[in-house]
Amino acid sequence: MNAAVSFIDGKSPAGSQLDNLNQWVTEAAALTQPDHIHWCDGSDPEYAALVQQMQADGTLLPLNPDTHPDSWLHRSSPSDVARVEHLTFVCTPERDAAGPNNHWMSPADGHAQMDALFAGCMRGRTLYVVPYCMGPIDSPLARCGVEITDSPYVVANMRIMTRMGAAALARIEREGSFVKGLHSIGELDPERRFIMHFPEELTIKSFGSGYGGNALLGKKCHALRIASHQARREGWLAEHMLIVGIENPQGEVHYIAAAFPSACGKTNLAMLIPPQSYREAGWKVWTVGDDICWMRPGADGRLYAINPEAGFFGVAPGTSEKSNPNALASIQHGTIFTNVAVTDDNQPWWEGLDKRVPAKDWQGRDYDPANGPAAHPNSRFTVSAKQCPSYSPRAEDPQGVPISAIVFGGRRASLVPLVFEARDWTHGVLVGASMGSETTAAATGAVGVMRRDPMAMKPFCGYNFADYFAHWLSFDQPGAKLPKVFHVNWFRKGEDGQFLWPGFGENLRVLEWMIERVQGRAEAIEAPIGLLPKPGHFNLQGVGMTAETLADLFKVDPDAWRDEFDEISEYLRSYGPAMPDELCAEAQRTLAALS
């Protein structure tokens, strides 16, 4: 191999703690055979050079500099536009460790299959070494990784999404441990595309895709699949959750972690704009994170959370001045857009943004409605979280923020009421474990099919769900001051097919009830499925909702719920004898209460 090598400060990173890193990079280069090796330092000049290079080769297209300065459009291969769950594997020595919730392959077979794909794949390309930190650089809960990739697009996105570069490398040198991620876009051939995770080796191998969830290895691969394994071993939680701070008129801030499947409103809730009457009263919303949450017990018994990410990789379609003005404000400059359409004056555009007609669709073709949506339904924006107007001053707090409530939610057109509270922690774990939602465009496959998605972690839990639920249950220890657990459903529809709840900023009314429950100020009524808001203790002033609509929103149909819990019990049993007995017993208690 003849590879010209350039290192930070012009030399190979030194120090015995980096011997493993240097050796791994050497081995990866010998396997992939790049023409050049570049160690990323995360600097502004490096980013500018990457952008210039990608503009020259057409990987990034400049957008209107007057309306969207320093912003770019990337068009990916039409066959490479979403996560590929069916090609994503967890490689553990024993199949049961991965569980039926994961596709399994033995580590030996996984490495052999991937190394055959990687052999010589970077000839004519540059191998980029990307050291990164997931979480505030000085946080004890943060964890580091290194991604090797041949995609400058991935490098640019990782710089936005993580704390990438020299500071991360320095932490790796101090700690001597990191998650290894080897990635190549290969030929972008769907038949030669796999993502393999080796949790016990803290290793990820991804080949054949340039799409974010498959290629930005710090994101879903590390921050959820590998981190969930780390979290179980080390006594914390790595979750597919937003983190939002709700400040009431008294100046008290309560932080809420909420789990929703992709494209079901996480970013909207994380950046929520309070209704005008709430703003006038002094309510504020603070965004800590929109997608991933790492939580650990603090000395006071509460759970404390950090957002391991530094940016947003948000779904563009549906983002508008009405749905999410904070997100829209965030992406007016310094943003990488992927697979959106453009207007005739070269501004990014997607369905739901406004009433303009785009000039070019996401594939660069002249826009023709016969070709489908102008922007791909899973088109994205990558932007620094610090550009969000509601960015929390606590977002970089090394100790994290204390969590008052955990919220689970899915997209259900019927059955599930607007909000209910779990009776206790065990019931709350059951509520999360039995979550169901209609599928969206964030993953390949059919859209609109109801599937179980426990804690919104079905595509992301790096080990057996039965062991994962047991890990959740293990936090209920003497002295623990665990958050209250709630479930929400913004998407319930009436008989006319229209949504019963207005959603968006009005969702703050639901969060207000949760906070008042945490504070012991709001009352609830017991139902077989949990605790519902007591009439008069849920602020609907100004919503203009009829009594009939309100009744539909909170209706609990015992017959339909019995069917649901028959399915839930069967679903839990499908994980075999490792399923915690207390979770199955909790499901039976609810089923009995419905009889």
Q: What is the rounded distance in angstroms from the CA atom of residue 367 to the CA atom of residue 3?
A: 43
Give strand pairing partners of 125: none
- Report d(CA 522, CA 513) in Å as an integer: 7
Distance from C-alpha of 514 to C-alpha of 201, rounded to nearest angstrom:
40
Strands 203-207, 179-184: pairing kind: parallel
538 token code pair: 């849920």
Helix (H) or strand (E) holding 6: strand 4-6
Beta strand 303-306 with 401-409: parallel, antiparallel or unpaired?
A: antiparallel
**Residue corresponding to tokens 């330092």:** 41
Under 8 Å between Cβ of 478 and 468: no
Helix (H/G/I), strand (E/B), else coil: 504: helix
Residue 479 φ then ψ, to 5°: 90, -10
Number of H helices, E strands in the chain: 17, 30
Contacts of residue 585, defined as CB under 8 A and 6 or more positions apart, other chains included, come to none
Task: Tell me how far apart the alpha carbons of residues 174 and 47 are, in angstroms, rounded to a whole number.
Answer: 25
Tokens of 259: 């789990």
User: Residue with structure tokens 């065990």?
Assistant: 426
Q: Residue 219: what residue type? A: K
Radius of gyration of the chain (CA): 24
Set 133, 264, 293, 388: catalytic member:
264
Residue 148 vs residues 34, 212, 217, 219, 223: alpha-carbon distances, Å: 11, 15, 9, 14, 16
- Helix 558-573 with 581-594: angle, nearest 10 deg: 160
Do 106 and 91 contact (CB within 8 A), yes or no? yes
Per-residue tokens: 147: 């991604």
Is 584 one of the catalytic residues? Answer: no
Nearest to 453 by CA among 405, 408, 510, 407: 408
* Strand order from edge to edge, sheet including 336-338: 61-62, 72-74, 336-338, 380-384, 311-315
**SS3 labels along 47-105:** HHHHHHHHHHHCCCEECCCCCCCCCEEECCCCCCCCECHHHEEECCCCHHHHCCCCEEC
Torsion angles phi and psi, residue 327, rounded to 5 = -65, -40
Residue 384, token pair as written in the block: 């620094």
570, with CB counted inside 10 A (0-12, 13-18, 19+), is exposed
| Residues contacting residue 44 through CB under 8 Å, at least 6 positions apart | none
Beta bridge partners, 437, equal 451
Helix (H) or strand (E) holding 406: strand 401-409
Nearest to 42 by CA among 134, 176, 167: 167
Q: Which residues are catalytic?
A: 264
